Amino acid sequence: MTFSRFHRAGIAVLDSRGQVLVDIPAEHAICRRISAHPRGGALGCAFDSLVSAEHQIDDVPQQANCLCGLRYELLAIRHQGETLGRLVFGPYRPENLTTLPRGLARALGEAGDVSDNAFLGSVQTDLERLEVVPTDQAQQIITAIGGVLSVIVHTGYARHLTSQIHIAAIQDAYNELSEKNRRLADSVEKLKDLDKLKSSFLATISHELRTPLTSVIGYSEMLLEGLAGDLSKEQNDYVRTILEKGDHLLRIINEILDVSRIESGAVQLNFETFDIPDLLRQVADAMMPQAQQKEISLTYDAASNVPVIVADRAKTRQVLINLVSNAIKFTPTGGTVSMLVTRKEVVDGGGVSRPSVEMRVVDTGIGVPQDSRDKIFEAFFQVDGSSTRVHGGTGLGLSIVKHFVEAHGGHVWVEDGEEQQGSVFVVQLPINPPADVRAKRSRSSALGGTLVG
């Protein structure tokens, strides 16, 4: 545009098919006025023929004259031997043009008409006012614009090439990543299959072990009750040990069955309304023998504002039993274990406040090291995983706890005990199950019980 204003002529850039890419018309109106004349439109402007692909273009400027005597310069735009398009400069007034060519008057109607004469006169005046651009200067101008254009094309093309290389490199990296992803996905699939195999193996074996074990337990009970005659004191002790060990084995098998049920997604929550103090009493009763064996004092307390809650009672009981049995197991003789329940407003990640109960199982035992506090909730994880460990167990109790609590929309974690002694397991359960928990429940019950065992 600056070029065009400076030299008072139009500039156009066309691509190789004659498509106009840039068109800056000349400021003077001579051509426009002639085309607007009733017979002028039919004359056809030189510009139209320059645009057409038939017009030869060259690396040196070529001229084309219009019927009105004004002139155009034409130059090829090339890049690496290929013709990309053409550049047009004009119409401008060449040095020898002082009057309108006679041919124009003839074409417009032989100037017989008074109005035609007036028209030609005023166009002639326009022409005289127009500044002359000598042809050699016009050629320098178009060559200069051509030079600028080819620099633009060149740098543009270089950039284009660089970005193509860039894109190709990224595409390569992407392909490689996709391939890696695919292999990873394959591995994950295989691992999942293996995991399923493991779960169904555990479920089958546990199920098969449980049946004979119930007979062992049943017959020991009958022996102890004297159904097969009186036992000597020694026989009685032996059978009692068989019964205790059998019970223990059954608990382990049930834990494994619980975990395989959880993993197969077959666990359902059965909601009912129940009273927390009642539940605490039951759990304490069930755990009392274990506590007494180690002379551990087992207590419980529920704040007076703790309401009845809607949850799966059996699973909540299981949660407390698992936590209390851990607390007893990991607390040395003479310690204390207590269950404390309070009412609590729990604010979730989205800022929604939910009425909940908070159950704390507090012990004075060995505590859980800081770096194991997340891991202990994983299946089979034990802080002391050595074969020489003192405390028995499968490492499944807490993973069951976590699953049951979270299925209710609750949370569980472990904290330091008071004065750095022992540990506190904290469970928060919503007083009423949140909507998404209920929805999930009805979906899983619609699937039906596909569980093994």
Report the interface residues with ligand ADP, using CB under 6 A. Answer: 322, 326-327, 330, 363, 365-368, 376, 381-384, 393-399, 423
Positions of E strands within 41-143? 62-65, 71-79, 82-92
Stretch that binds Mg ion, among 134-142, 206-214, 360-368, 390-398 (CB under 5 A): 390-398
Number of residues in contact with Mg ion under rule CB under 5 A: 3
Q: How far is CA 94 from CA 49, 57, 102, 143, 290, in A?
A: 19, 20, 17, 17, 116
Distance CA 284, CA 297 (A): 11
Token pair of 395, please?
Answer: 């490492």
Enumerate residues 316-355 that contact Mg ion by CB under 5 A: 326
Burial 107-121 (b: 16+ CB within 10 A, else e): bbbeeeeeebeebbe
Using the minimum distance from each CB to ligand ADP, give the nearer residue, 13 or 320: 320
Selected from 10, 94, 397, 422, the binder of Mg ion by CB under 5 A is 397
394 binds, among Mg ion, ligand ADP, none (CB under 5 to 8 A by kind): ligand ADP
Rounded least distance, CB 417 to ligand ADP, Å: 9
Q: Is position 94 an interface residue for Mg ion (rule: CB under 5 A)?
A: no
DSSP SS3 for 345? strand
The answer to whether the beta carbons of residues 331 and 299 sit under 8 Å apart is no
The answer to whether the beta carbons of residues 414 and 398 sit under 8 Å apart is no
Q: How far is CA 353 from CA 321, 347, 350, 430, in A?
A: 28, 4, 9, 10
Stretch that binds Mg ion, among 56-64, 66-74, 265-273, 395-403 (CB under 5 A): 395-403
206 binds, among Mg ion, ligand ADP, none (CB under 5 to 8 A by kind): none
DSSP SS3 for 163? helix
The answer to whether the beta carbons of residues 370 and 390 sit under 8 Å apart is no
Stretch that binds Mg ion, among 172-180, 357-365, 384-392, 397-405 (CB under 5 A): 397-405
Using the minimum distance from each CB to ligand ADP, give the nearer residue, 199 or 220: 199
Using the minimum distance from each CB to ligand ADP, give the nearer residue, 142 or 287: 287
396 binds, among ligand ADP, Mg ion, none (CB under 5 to 8 A by kind): ligand ADP
Using the minimum distance from each CB to ligand ADP, give the nearer residue, 89 or 330: 330
Using the minimum distance from each CB to ligand ADP, give the nearer residue, 269 or 396: 396
Q: Which parts of this chain interact with Mg ion (CB under 5 A)?
A: 326, 393, 397
